Structure 1
Amino acid sequence: MATTSGTAAAAAGGGGGDGEPFVEVDPSGRFGRYQELLGAGSTKKVYRAFDQQQGREVAWNQVCLRKFMDNNHTIQSLQNEVQLLKNIRNKNTISIVANWTDKEGCKLNFITDMCTSGNLREYRRKHSRVSIKAIKKWARQILRGLEYLHKCQPCIMHRDLNCSNIFICGYSGVVKIGDFGCAREVGGDVGPDHLAHSMVGTPEYMAPELFEENYTEAVDIYSFGMCLLELVTMEIPYTECKTFLQIYNSVTSGVKPKAMDKVRNLEVRAFIEKCLVKQSDRPSATELLRDAFFNGLD
């Protein structure tokens, strides 16, 4: 289905008068896209948009499919992300509201929640004065999102959790896990029977077993530990490594990132280290949420 032109947006109730005009509306006329670009990656652009039915701002994700006509892996990844997002409903994960393909323009479009303050990496760097209590609140929300994903039937592994894939609404402090392009559903009950066998993710955040291509949802817990390390130090793990091979050698040999030396709070350091142990000893998201680390939070 082709998208409606910007000229028709006024007729849909969103582009006329003195208000900010829509440059595009969806086939139903419910969503209007503004010109403002919120972010852009290798596969998609994300624009600010408006849900006229609910009266709220949303994110309009747009992929130019022509760029990937000869890349079945990317197309599959995008389709996977859309399908997963359609089935996810949790306060701490990004949800999809609508999706459609503009066949005439050869574009895949999907509407998701909009986190007004961008990703957690950018937000943390913008606000250098953050208390440990605030970081704990962010961490707890990330774990709640992971707990939901890992308890889904079938279980959902994110497989690329890092601070650029976690988003925040600064006015409310609500944190949401997003970017599910590398996520995978795995059948069976939650636990060690959830095995996957492909190497994906961001090297600095990948658990050792991911490199060995034989892993469970516990890889997300390892990545969560690295995210917490970044939130505390404002440093991406393994910045001392200059190549993928150096990161690989450090991770697979059990060498912790030098950023760990910057964590002065012993409680925080101990909690991070719980996430970085070998796969069989790594606690689940549910177990971590029960940890005394979160005692006293409102």
Structure 2
Amino acid sequence: MTLKIIANKYEILAELGRGGMGRVYKVRHRELNKIYALKLLREHLVEDDNQVARFHSEARIMANLRQDHIVQVFDIDRAGDQHFFVMEYIEGKTLADLIKEQAPLPVADVLSISRQIAQALAYAHQQQPMIIHRDIKPSNIMIESGSGRVVVTDFGIAKLLDADSTRQTLSGLAVGTPSYAAPEQLGTTDDLDGRADIFSLGLVMYEMLAGRPFFENLTPQQIIGKKLYDTQEFTPTFDTFVAAPLQR
């Protein structure tokens, strides 16, 4: 059955994207006549208490963040077995789409985009307790049309660090996207802090400048092995358009 109305309030206009946990729709509030983005938990996960808790945790984390470069959450609700939260709708494209269409990006654009992402991360990391995104990658970054505002989205695997500790127990579970995750996210260490997000941002910056991921044509297992056990070196064949600004 195709969904048309959610919670008798939100009319679905279009599907914006989907992932393992949920689908994101462009919706119209029927009474307010305002456009939002709505993330709906996938039907097969509603009986999984852990997944439902994770979904609501993402919504609560985002709802408590008020920063220009972090997507804003306005409502968290459920209607029957439909779990959803409502966010600001951003007219634009993902950074992944921008890279695919225009990369390599001009250095000035890379710096502007990176600065705005860094501002979002700095704000999240300054919260008490600290919020670590853990999945910074081009597809989780939106570029707003017209204004060029950069917005960090998808806090689905974000974690809160206890205010009195710099440790987050991960029980040996690798989280994040291997191509962008910091090594400490991929091993069995319990040490994890905001530097993991900064590592991911560095890889995103590389991709904007080079027009390709730092790790390409490798399986997730190969990427994890390289990050955990290999030493990465920049050779003289490193792209000149990236190397030149670094040498200034």
User: Which of the five TM-score ranges fits, normalised by the shorter chain?
Assistant: 0.7 to 0.9
Q: Percent of aligned pairs with the same residue?
A: 21
Aligned with residue 154 of structure 1, among 98, 109, 129: 129
C-alpha RMSD of the superposition: 2.7
Could you say what secondary structure the match of 2:200 adopts? helix
Q: Which position in structure 2 is the counterpart of 1:87?
A: 64
2:147 equivalent to 1:175: no
After superposition, give the CA deviation of every residue in 1:48-70 in whole Å (9 maximum; x if it has no partner).
12356776432121123x40145
Q: Which position in structure 2 is the counterpart of 1:11?
A: none
After superposition, give the CA deviation of every residue in 1:93-143 in whole Å (9 maximum; x if it has no partner).
11111121011xx11121111221232111222234742111111000000
Q: Which position in structure 2 is the counterpart of 1:110?
A: 85
After superposition, give the CA deviation of every residue in 1:186-242 in whole Å (9 maximum; x if it has no partner).
1226xxx4211323111111112222332211100101101111111221231142x
How many residue pairs get aligned? The number is 240
**In 2: Cα distance, 1:62 partner to 1:110 partner:** 7
**In 2: Cα distance, 1:255 partner to 1:131 partner:** 29
Alignment of 1:140-289 (within 5 A): 140-188=115-163, 193-198=165-170, 199-212=174-187, 213=189, 214-241=191-218, 243-256=219-232, 261-262=238-239, 264-266=241-243
**In 2: Cα distance, 1:75 partner to 1:225 partner:** 32
Structure 2: which 5+ residue stretches go unaligned?
none
How far the C-alpha of 1:82 sits from its partner, in A, is: 1.1
**In 1: Cα distance, 2:240 partner to 2:157 partner:** 30
TM-score, normalised relative to structure 1: 0.72
User: Given residue 41 of structure 1, which amino acid in structure 2 is its aligned partner?
Assistant: G
Structure 1: which 5+ residue stretches go unaligned?
1-5, 7-22, 271-292, 294-298
Q: Which position in structure 2 is the counterpart of 1:61?
A: 39
User: Which protein has greater RCO, CA pairs closer than 8 Å, 6+ apart?
Assistant: 2
Could you say what secondary structure the match of 2:241 adopts? coil
**In 2: Cα distance, 1:166 partner to 1:68 partner:** 25
TM-score, normalised relative to structure 2: 0.85
Q: Report the structure number with the largest CA radius of gyration.
A: 1
Could you say what secondary structure the match of 2:92 adopts? coil
2:14 equivalent to 1:42: no
After superposition, give the CA deviation of every residue in 1:242-266 in whole Å (9 maximum; x if it has no partner).
x233212211134338899336333
**In 2: Cα distance, 1:70 partner to 1:54 partner:** 32
How far the C-alpha of 1:268 sits from its partner, in A, is: 5.4
**In 2: Cα distance, 1:52 partner to 1:71 partner:** 31
Q: Bigger CA drift: 168-177 or 144-153?
A: 168-177
